[in-house]
């Protein structure tokens, strides 16, 4: 087997970025999680399905992440194919060829759904397929037959080769990330699939799911964990940005930090109200039907939405002042 020693992922709810962080660590980057989550814009994003389906955190048009990722110092080669398309097997072959060549050249890789529907670093390959690490298999798993990549119910072949790049200056990184945050808050079709809502409309859809008793237990727990992680890192990104920019727009940064810290605190309470790792699927379903749990979550989501709306106004002010 050909493999990259010491390539792993950083355990995270956003496995896409957890894998990317592991790849960047392997390449010698000293990028903080906050600068990666924030600089790519992901820390400010939210994507919600009408029944709080667990697909929300991954089922959106994520290409913007890697466009903004150039600002924080990396580039990716992406191979993307869809099972319903006639070129699907060709894309599987392209992914297999690209991953093997990358590993031969010492470049880390990651891909989608080598096990459950999450992202995994690909640290090696053999004659059969991919060897990978990620959620549920930190010590490694494989081989996963290369010709099966994407041949699932979801039906997406998605693989990335990660390369070091030249980061942009901090002001550009911050401005472009915050511009995306503001744009995404309006739930534009550029970033979301039909039926989903992003940004402030996403909060409204989440609240509606509780009001109409449509919220799925598993999805509620998973979404709460993912989005609370994102907003925690949004606040940390803003703190790091303020420090890097030597006090420019200082008071506006302070207001934004306070806003996103409030969002994070409230979403963390939602995550604790609907725990993911410590409960069975049956208990998750029971929790979303518990009036006390729902009442607590609704109050927190309303406060998170209010704080995020205020935070977005502060982001606009930061951009103007920079």
- Collapsing DSSP to helix, strand or coil, 164 comes out as strand
Tell me, what's the pLDDT at 203?
99
- Collapsing DSSP to helix, strand or coil, 141 comes out as strand
Residue 252 token pair: 């506006």
Residue with the two structure tokens 């942009």: 168
Enter the DSSP assignment of 60.
B
CA-to-CA separations, 117 to 133, 135, 204, in angstroms, rounded: 13, 10, 26
Q: In the beta sheet, which residues pair with residue 47?
A: 198
Residue with the two structure tokens 């667990």: 54
Over residues 15-42, the pLDDT tens digits come to 999 999 999 999 999 999 999 999 999 9
d(CA 314, CA 234): 13
Tell me, what's the pLDDT at 247?
75
| Residue 139 burial (CB count, 10 A) | 6
Tell me, what's the pLDDT at 250?
86
d(CA 127, CA 281): 37
Residue 315 belongs to what H/E stretch?
helix 291-321
Tell me, what's the pLDDT at 249?
85
| Residue 89 burial (CB count, 10 A) | 15
d(CA 139, CA 247): 43
Residue with the two structure tokens 């906050």: 34
Low-confidence ranges of the chain (pLDDT < 70): none
Tell me, what's the pLDDT at 246?
86
- Locate the DSSP E strands across 86-237: 109-112, 119-125, 129-134, 137-145, 156-164, 197-198
- Collapsing DSSP to helix, strand or coil, 67 comes out as helix
Is residue 53 exposed (0-12), middle (13-18) or buried (19+ Cβ within 10 Å)? buried
Cis peptide before 242 (omega within 30 of 0): no
Of 130, 136, 192, 190, the closest CA to residue 159 belongs to 130
Tell me, what's the pLDDT at 174?
98
Distance from chain centroid for Cα 238: 18
Do the beta carbons of residue 129 and residue 145 sit within 8 Å? yes
Do the beta carbons of residue 271 and residue 222 sit within 8 Å? no
Tell me, what's the pLDDT at 135?
97
- Locate the DSSP E strands across 83-167: 109-112, 119-125, 129-134, 137-145, 156-164
Tell me, what's the pLDDT at 7?
98
Residue 76 token pair: 């990716």
β-pairing, 119-125 vs 2-3, is: antiparallel
d(CA 223, CA 31): 25
Of 216, 205, 207, 206, the closest CA to residue 289 belongs to 216
């Amino acid at each position: 087997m050909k493999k990259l020693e010491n390539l792993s992922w950083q355990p995270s709810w956003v496995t896409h970025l957890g894998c990317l962080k592991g790849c960047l660590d392997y390449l010698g980057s000293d990028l903080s999680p906050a600068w990666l989550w924030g600089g790519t814009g992901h820390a400010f994003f939210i994507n919600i399905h009408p029944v709080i389906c667990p697909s929300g955190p991954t089922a959106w048009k994520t290409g913007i992440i890697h466009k903004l990722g150039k600002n924080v110092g990396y580039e990716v080669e992406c191979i993307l194919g869809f099972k319903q398309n006639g070129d699907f097997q060709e894309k599987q072959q392209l992914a297999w060829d690209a991953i093997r060549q990358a590993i031969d050249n010492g470049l880390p890789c990651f891909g989608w759904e080598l096990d459950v529907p999450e992202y995994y670093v690909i640290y090696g390959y053999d004659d059969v397929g991919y060897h990978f690490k990620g959620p549920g298999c930190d010590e490694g798993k494989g081989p996963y037959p290369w010709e099966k990549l994407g041949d699932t119910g979801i039906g997406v072949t998605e693989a990335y080769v990660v390369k070091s790049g030249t980061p942009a200056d901090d002001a550009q990184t911050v401005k472009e990330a915050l511009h995306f945050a503001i744009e995404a808050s309006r739930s534009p079709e550029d970033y979301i699939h039909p039926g989903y809502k992003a940004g402030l409309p996403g909060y409204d859809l989440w609240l509606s799911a509780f009001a109409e008793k449509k919220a799925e237990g598993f999805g509620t727990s998973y979404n709460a964990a993912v989005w609370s992680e994102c907003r925690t890192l949004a606040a940390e990104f803003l703190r790091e940005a303020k420090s890097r920019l030597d006090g420019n727009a200082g008071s506006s940064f302070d207001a934004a930090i306070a806003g996103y810290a409030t969002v994070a605190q409230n979403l963390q309470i939602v995550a604790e109200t609907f725990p993911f790792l410590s409960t069975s699927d049956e208990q998750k379903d029971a929790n979303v039907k518990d009036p006390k749990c729902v009442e607590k979550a609704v109050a927190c989501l309303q406060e998170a939405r209010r704080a995020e709306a205020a935070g977005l106004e502060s982001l606009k002010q930061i951009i103007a002042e920079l």
